[in-house]
Amino acid sequence: MHPEIGVAFNNLHQLRKDYFSSSIFINELNKHVEQDKWSVGEVIFHCYLLLKLTRQFSKYYIPIAKHCVALNTESYFL
């Protein structure tokens, strides 16, 4: 990696670390702007859970789907 890019990545990492540990971010993360609306923290957690569920589901779905595609491809060329 080019040294300047490494420095830029290190600076970015430090900025993110400082921002995400700041009291402004932590206090605003779970603040409800409107009644009956999700906070930013709830939205992020929901996206995390969806990603986790998708990865768990894909572990079983992808091998089955590959097998079905292989079977369908073989019958298509017969």
Give the pLDDT score at 67.
Answer: 86
Enclosing domain of residue 6: 1-30
pLDDT digits (tens), the chain, 78 positions: 688 898 999 999 999 888 878 887 778 888 888 888 998 889 989 999 999 999 999 988 898 988 888 887 766 555
Report how many domains make up the chain. Answer: 2
In the 8-state DSSP scheme, what is residue 32? -
Residues 41, 75 within the same domain: yes
Give the pLDDT score at 21.
Answer: 84
Residues 23, 39 within the same domain: no
In the block, which residue shows the tokens 């993360």?
29
Give the pLDDT score at 76.
Answer: 57
Give the pLDDT score at 74.
Answer: 64
| Residue 37, CA distances (Å) to 26, 31, 40, 72 in order | 18, 10, 10, 45
